[in-house]
Amino acid sequence: MAYVKPEEVVENMLQAGASKGGLSLKDLLIRGVLSGVFLGYATTLAVSAITQTGIGIVGAIIFPVGFVMIILLGLELATGNFALMPIAVMDGRTSLRKLIFNWTWVLIGNLIGGIFYALLYYIVMTKMGHVDPTTIAATKKIMAIAEHKTIAYANLGLAGIVSVFTSAVLCNWMVTLGAVMALTSTTTIGKIAAMWLPIMTFFALGYEHAIVNMFVIPAGIMLGANVTVADWWLWNEIPVILGNIVGGMLFTGMALYVTARKKPATA
C-alpha cells in the first residue's frame, strides 16, 4: 500500500536521523549548499508570482517546489534535521556529537547556498548593477521583505525578538511536518502531495524560516535594502534559528516520537 502508518513513519524518521549522523563533511556541505540554492529559487519564483498576480496565496501554492526537490533528492536542510536528529539521539541511533556536527555544517552549507543564489539573482536582475532594483517589482518586493524581517522587529525591541522567535517556532512546526508527511507515502506523487500542504501553510502565513532568510535578507541587502549584516543576524537569523530548533525538535520530532514510536515487544 502507498500509505505508511504513523508507527512506521516514526521508525523511518529515526532511521533518517541515524543516517544523517553518518554523513561526511563533504556530503553535508554539498547537500546543504544545494538546499540553500533551491530554496532561493523557490522564494524568487513565489515572489515573482505574487508581484505578477497581486495575490499572495499564489506564491504560497508555488513555493513548495523547492522543498520537493530537496526531499526527493535526499539533500540536507538544517530545519528538517532539527526534528529528525534529536529523536535519533534519544533512541540511541546516533550521538550528540554527530548531531552538532551535522547541524553546524548543514547550516553553513545552507548559508553558502542562499548567499550564492542571492548573488546570482542580483547579477541577473540588475544586469550587474546597471538596472535600478527599485524599478523592478520583484526586486523591490524582496527589499521590502528584507526590511520587514529585520528593521520592523528591531523597532519593537524585546517584543520584536519574542515575536520573531515565536514566528520561527510556528514555521518549523509546519516545515518539519512537511518532511515527515513525505514519509507517509511510498509513491513519488503521494510524497509530493503530502509534503506540499504544511509547506504551503507556513509560507502563506508568513512565518520565519532560517534558510529562506539566508537568501532573502542577503538578497535584499545586495539590492539596496536599508538593512545591515548586524540587523540580519541580531534581529532575525539568530532568534529564527533558535525558534526553528524548538519548533522542529519539540512539536514535531519529540511529540511524534513519544506518541507513535513502536513499543518494544513484550514476552
Count of C-beta atoms within a 10 Å radius of residue 65: 17
Question: How far is the C-alpha of 199 from the C-alpha of 197, rounded, in Å?
Answer: 6
Task: Please tell me the predicted confidence (pLDDT) of residue 265.
Answer: 57
Output the nine-digit C-alpha cell for 128: 550587474
Quick one: average pLDDT of 83-98?
98
Predicted TM-score of the model (pTM): 0.96
- pLDDT higher than threshold 80 for residue 117: yes
pLDDT in tens, 24-35: 999 999 999 999
Output the nine-digit C-alpha cell for 126: 540588475
Buried b (16+ CB within 10 A) or exposed e, 53-62: eeeeeebbbb
Task: Please tell me the predicted confidence (pLDDT) of residue 267.
Answer: 46
- pLDDT higher than threshold 70 for residue 188: yes
Count of C-beta atoms within a 10 Å radius of residue 233: 15
Quick one: average pLDDT of 153-170?
98
Domain boundaries 6-257, corresponding CATH code:
1.20.1080.10
Distances (CA, A) of 94 to 12, 17, 198: 14, 8, 27
Question: How far is the C-alpha of 240 from the C-alpha of 163, rounded, in Å?
Answer: 10
pLDDT in tens, 22-78: 999 999 999 999 999 999 999 999 999 999 999 999 999 999 999 999 999 999 999
Residues 6+ positions from 94 with CB-CB distance below 8 Å: 17, 18, 20, 21, 22, 85, 88
